[in-house]
Structure 1
């Protein structure tokens, strides 16, 4: 009833998951700041999360950790688990998981992944997810995992339909205030949960991302920004365009993207869109 990927890329660890199940993000994923990344699903045994995290922390190799956890579980044939640890990745699918069920895992240097799913429309879902993982090399892990999840959904995903999805990614020193949370997003009940998750992720990267494609506030761009801010009731005082932009950005929750070097591309895009909406409404 669920398809997921647990993965590592360098210092970043994460899980992305979707299912025809309420609030799948409250059950399936576990991501430690320094690993591991775990996904427990099918007839999910939540205790696997603590057991596997403790085993990896104790230095148990990934395959041994997963095998030991599964061996001690009487319901193992109904379970599915993906585990990514510092030494690699492994995926387990019990023999009594509802068809179609299966998984794949792999490692390449300091990247590793475990993809798994059950009650899927067919093996092409997992195959598409694995391909998307390789094709996404070089992307930030949160973007890469979201791409993998959407690839699985595009191939049909959960045979019963869509309901919930989640994305959890951690990396030391990253995220809001350097707390290590790159993304912690959940869609608990939505008829197109994977794409709603993508929409939330776009907002998250807008509000909590760092400046990119910065242009200096000079020439025609300075004039445009002045005009846009004025249209939104933030006319610069004493030609302090940067100050007016910062005041507007604070109201729009874009303060993380402010830079003394000019204006961030997504701030500029949002400013243009907001001023356009304001003119239309007026």
Structure 2
């Protein structure tokens, strides 16, 4: 009923799952991940107990293949189950029970596993695999996962149609404000183009919660500081000082505006992220 890719980043810091299905709110059932431990997808008459049990096994150092073997051996319903697992290191592993609805199958390699059932054919998994492997060294990890999912969707995806999609990515301290490990948790529960909508949401997530690139930051001095102060005043966040170029006052006005725009994760005192500057210019 579902196709998914489970993977870890090349440096091993991030783990995640991207999934789509003709199934309501697939993100509530399929993915599970824990920072620096691993990730898994349980699907095809999903056994939701696989999620905590699988992560517990990964936490103790069991390999992805060992997790698949342990979970399915203890499950009388395994002929109808499908499972993909990636650990902190080593190869990914995938399992497809013989009673899963056709077409069903999966592939796995170093740090990834792709699988699906009720698909138009094996080309869906092939497309996810190829997109994942060719994406090495390219887009950021969450975008790479969604690109692989999109490739599977373009190859035909679930043969019953489209309904939902989800993306879950974890990294130690990667969540909002550094206070959680959930870097991305996006769900499209019921939509005619769920993978396309998931892509749009990820772009928005990157804008609002992405971290600034230190190499692109601009100093808030001179003409740029004057421009930014004028634009902040135009959107109702004036610099509270007689000297609009005073750094602390400009930072305070910027923080006031950015908090309203949900861009606070991109703030750097005394400097400005070009992404933030573009957004401010667009607003004025």
Q: Does 1:106 align with 2:105?
A: no
Counterparts of 1:136 and 1:79, CA distance in 2:
29
Question: Superposed, which structure 2 residues align to 1:103-142 within 5 Å?
Answer: 103-107=106-110, 112-138=111-137, 139-142=139-142
Aligned equivalents of 1:92, 1:219: Cα separation in 2:
60
How far the C-alpha of 1:219 sits from its partner, in A, is: 4.6
Say if 1:214 and 1:261, in contact at 8 Å, map to a contact too: no
Aligned pairs for 1:229-268 (under 5 A) are: 229-237=232-240, 238=242, 239-240=244-245, 241-268=250-277
Supply the distance in 2 between the matched residues of 1:210 and 1:58 (Cα, whole angstroms).
32
Question: What's the CA shift for 1:173?
Answer: 2.1
CA distance in 2, matches of 1:42, 1:61: 22
Tell me what 1:88 maps to: 91
Contact 1:6 1:113 in 2 (8 A): yes
1:192 lines up with 2:193 in the alignment? yes
**Aligned equivalent of 2:205:** 204
Q: Which runs of 5+ in 2 are unaligned?
A: none
Contact 1:84 1:114 (C-alpha < 8 Å) held by counterparts: yes
Give the drift of 1:171: 0.9
Determine the C-alpha separation between the residues in 2 that align with 1:159 and 1:152.
12
The alignment of Structure 1 onto Structure 2 pairs a total of residues equal to 271
Quote how far apart the aligned CAs of 1:182 are.
0.9
Q: Distance in 2 between matches of 1:95 and 1:11?
A: 34
Cα distance in structure 2, aligned partners of 1:259 and 1:253: 14
Instruction: State which drifts further: 120-129 or 227-236.
Output: 227-236
| TM-score normalised by L of structure 1 | 0.89
Give per-residue Cα distances to partners, 1:122-181, cap 9 Å, x unaligned: 212111111111122134321221111112112221112211111111111222122221
The CA RMSD measured in Å over matched residues stands at 1.8
Distance 2:57 2:271 in 1: 48
Give 5+ residue unaligned stretches, structure 1. Answer: 276-282
Residue aligning to 2:75: 73
Normalization by structure 2: what TM-score? Answer: 0.88
